[in-house]
Amino acid sequence: MDGKTPPPHLFVILGGTGDLAARKLLPALHDLDAKDLLDGSFRILAVARNPDLDDGAYRRWARDALARAGRRDPETFCSRRLHYACVTGGPAEAFARLAARIGEIEREASLPGHRIFYLALPPGAFGPTIGNLAAAGLTGGPGSVRFVIEKPFGRDLESAVALNREIHDWLDEEQVFRIDHYLGKETVRNLMVFRFGNTIFEDLWNRDRIRCVEITVAESLGVGDRAAFYERTGAIRDIVQNHLTQLLTLTAMEVPAAFDARSVRHEKLKVLQSIAPLSPDDVVFGRYGPGEGGPGYLEEPDVAPDSVTETYFAARVDIDTWRWQGVPFYLRTGTRLS
């Protein structure tokens, strides 16, 4: 953000009671509010399938989530900004009720119709959810309507292309933002500043001075209540093909022609195109077992007893460019790691 307060919006979190909302989205929105970067009329509508929640119950749930995330005194934020809507029953009926709820909130808060739909959902729900929103008349409106789609975007190239086509059945490309929330981490955001804002490093950032590069994304917790999601993704789709790959490209890319989205993307893509093919000897798969941290993966709720889902992955990657030729990149990620 450029420090200017954006116009008032309704921020709709589809999957508003999930892990992503509790650990990432609500704390981030709380912090924006604490820094006076949200308009006074800005509202947040959490959408989920829990019929036992209403505005008051959801606000209590959100306060607990924000306290666990280390936010102090979230009462004002929750009571002022947060609302809840339940989508149960047939899609037509459920999303018609959602449309009515959105209209009610916008009228009460005098919002102009600017909406952001954040799809904090399993990948298989992206297309059907957007279709249901379109059928309810929610993909357009009196103001701007944007859709934020979380990773992973498909399971492979074929499914990603199919998902893209399905999304374009309902939305213009300008409405769609495919994001990786990991890029919002302060350390990640500082990588380009660290590299390109300190000229002393340019002479050192190459094969003549660096023996190898290690990038590790370690989580101390197990999958916990995310097992139903994790069974469909595993470590590779959860971390490697998005978070770790972004870190790899930020570390290995050349100086972009300009620090805008198109130029940075171009340099990242060049890194990906320079990765040498991997062989089976270049990769390691693993899974955590029982120990001091708790039960093993196979003992977690909602995990199939014969599951072969990986919770640990490591790889050696070689980048065939002048800067990195002969310098191995070691990528690692895993849950329940020290």
Neighbours of 86 (CB within 10 A): 19
In this predicted structure, the answer to whether residue 1 has a pLDDT above a threshold of 70 is: no
Distance from C-alpha of 242 to C-alpha of 122, rounded to nearest angstrom:
15
In this predicted structure, the answer to whether residue 62 has a pLDDT above a threshold of 60 is: yes
> Dmax over Cα atoms in the chain, in whole Å?
64
Q: How confident is the model at residue 4 (pLDDT cuts 50, 70, 90)?
A: low
Distance from C-alpha of 81 to C-alpha of 156, rounded to nearest angstrom:
37
Q: Exposed, middle or buried: residue 198 (CB in 10 Å: 0-12, 13-18, 19+)? A: exposed
Q: Which of 287, 285, 297 is nearest to 224 (CA)?
A: 297
Structure confidence at residue 6 (pLDDT): 67
Q: Which of 195, 245, 216, 208 is nearest to 326 (CA)?
A: 208
Over residues 79-102, mean pLDDT: 96
Global confidence as pTM: 0.79
Residues 6+ away with beta carbon under 8 Å from 234: 309, 310, 311, 313
Q: What is the pLDDT of residues 164-181, one digit of tens each?
A: 999 999 999 999 998 887
Tokens of 228: 């139903």
Rounded to the nearest integer, the mean pLDDT of the chain is: 92
Residues 6+ away with beta carbon under 8 Å from 7: 39, 112, 114
Structure confidence at residue 180 (pLDDT): 84
Contact call for residues 318 and 331 (beta carbons, < 8 A): no
Over residues 184-205, mean pLDDT: 85
Alpha helices in the chain (DSSP H): 19-20, 26-34, 55-68, 75-81, 91-108, 126-135, 157-168, 186-196, 227-235, 245-252, 261-273
Q: What is the pLDDT of residues 111-123, one digit of tens each?
A: 999 999 999 998 8
Residues 6+ away with beta carbon under 8 Å from 107: none
Between vectors from CA 18 to CA 12 and to CA 19, what angle results, nearest 5°?
120
Neighbours of 203 (CB within 10 A): 9
Over residues 113-134, mean pLDDT: 93
- Active-site residues, by number, are 243
Over residues 119-141, mean pLDDT: 92
In this predicted structure, the answer to whether residue 24 has a pLDDT above a threshold of 70 is: yes
Q: What is the pLDDT of residues 313-326, one digit of tens each?
A: 999 999 999 999 99
In this predicted structure, the answer to whether residue 309 has a pLDDT above a threshold of 60 is: yes
Q: Exposed, middle or buried: residue 169 (CB in 10 Å: 0-12, 13-18, 19+)? A: exposed
Structure confidence at residue 234 (pLDDT): 92
Q: Which of 250, 233, 230, 242 is nearest to 151 (CA)?
A: 242
Structure confidence at residue 5 (pLDDT): 63
Q: How confident is the model at residue 233 (pLDDT cuts 50, 70, 90)?
A: confident
The arrangement of strands across the sheet holding 283-286 comes to: 213-218, 328-334, 312-318, 283-286
Q: What share of the chain in percent tops pLDDT 70?
A: 98
